[in-house]
Amino acid sequence: MKRPRLVLALLLSLLAPVAPAAERVNWTIRAVPDAPATQVVRVAPDRADWTYAVGETATFKVVLALNPYPAEGVAIKYRVGPEMLDAPEQTATVPAAGLVLPGGTMKEPGFLRCSVTATIDGKPQRGLATAGFSPERIQPTQTEPANFDAFWKEQKAVLAKVPMDPKLVPAPELSNDKIEVFYLSLANVSNGAVPSRVYGVLAVPRAEGKFPAVLNVPGAGVRPYRGNLSMAEKGVITLQIGIHGIPVNLPASVYEDLGRGALADYNRASLDDPLRYFYRRVYLGCLRANDYLAAHPKFDGKNLAVMGGSQGGQLSLVTAGLDPRVVALAADYPAYSDVTGYLHGRAGGWPGLFRPGRDGKPVSLRSDDPRLATTRLYDAVNFARRIKVPGHYWWGYNDETCPPTSTFAVYNIITAPKELVIAPQQGHQSVPVQGQTTSAWMLARLTAK
């Protein structure tokens, strides 16, 4: 699927305010992405910024991009309801001028989604739009355990006892006259008896002098990596890591087999035990990567940052919350944010641990369920509470992987300096200007005199 282009002009001057400015902490509304030429079903709310106050009413307009348009109209099926939760399916016919569907309102802060499907030339086509209702007031459902700080202090102490044991292999195929690139591995804690390592791609400027450093943390999945070479060429030491304890330069077929097999549903592995849960080794692996960057002879000794999107956004929040050496972070549509939302009748963060099943019935857990206790120690919400450094954030309202209810639950509790860019129509994909904007923000932070 082609990625939509993001219009650069800001819409702020066109948008009617829907909440006091003081409540919207450093928001920027970007123009929504243009619809791809291949998108047939196009849906949009009746406000340019897709944002309303609780109690206000939204409508959704459906337009079918067909030429010539059938005179008799096209039948659609649609659902309107809270994001990520099933709503009754309804039917309608779209006239040539488009169809306005009633959306209704919300009594609590959150997001209302209109999803529309149509069958065109025998092929299903889908479009959606998501209206936000006072999203600046969304608060997390996840609770903070009394032992949170003690737990992670103990885990960091365990990591500190593991010698770093760095191993570097030159990567001449990735290097050039500006940067020298290596495949790097570091010793990490283990979730069992088998030793574990962190693998990644290190890129170091060839020029003389000292440089800032950035840890790039990955989105979900199992794949190879080639490093953040473009930022390294601008004078930054970069280390892009994987999270699965395997080299990052294996044949693609290896990752495909692991993703379908041993590493399928890795985010749920040993969820009932916080000391064996999959993400324990991952979170500490991020700190181990920072250990290496902080000790690198070309590091400037002060400017260490972390950035990533989706699961990488989650890991950016975690790393910034755990590691006082971090001076800035960038987190796009962070995953694992307020995963308990589904237990409270609203969307929760990826990976949807407690999302209702196909029968629509909510998941019921006892308050002492060990899986619930583990999420309290690993949810990005509780790391975000501890962030003290500037952060840059970006997401859209149409995200069906990391729902905006969950990402706002994290953003709204961060008390450190923060900047949020909203591209309302954007789903769970990156667009070129997003990477350009985020990288520019990070470079400005790291190179400021």
**What are the boundaries of each domain within the chain?**
39-135, 148-447
Please give the chain's pLDDT, 449 residues, in tens: 333 332 222 222 223 333 333 355 678 877 656 677 778 999 999 999 999 999 999 999 999 998 887 777 899 999 999 999 989 999 999 998 899 999 999 999 999 999 999 999 899 999 999 999 999 999 999 999 999 999 999 999 999 999 999 999 999 999 999 999 999 999 999 977 678 999 999 999 999 999 999 999 999 999 999 999 999 999 999 999 999 999 999 999 999 999 999 999 999 999 999 999 999 999 999 999 999 999 999 999 999 999 999 999 999 999 999 999 999 999 999 999 999 999 999 999 999 999 988 777 778 888 889 999 999 999 999 999 999 999 999 999 999 999 999 999 999 999 999 999 999 999 999 888 999 999 999 999 998 86
Q: How far apart are the C-alpha atoms of 88 and 213, rounded to whole Å? A: 50
Query: pTM for the complete prediction?
Result: 0.92
Q: What is 148-447's CATH number?
A: 3.40.50.1820
Which two structure tokens, joined as six digits, stand for 179?
């940067």
At residue 32, the pLDDT reads 55
* CATH superfamily of the 39-135 domain: Immunoglobulins (2.60.40.10)
At residue 416, the pLDDT reads 96
Pairs from 118-123 (Cβ < 8 Å, separation ≥ 24): 118/40, 118/41, 118/64, 118/74, 118/75, 118/76, 118/77, 118/94, 119/75, 120/40, 120/64, 120/66, 120/74
Residues marked active site are found at: 310, 399, 428
Cβ contacts of 298 within 8 Å, gap of 6 or more: 204, 205, 209, 210, 211, 237
Cβ contacts of 85 within 8 Å, gap of 6 or more: 345, 346, 347, 356
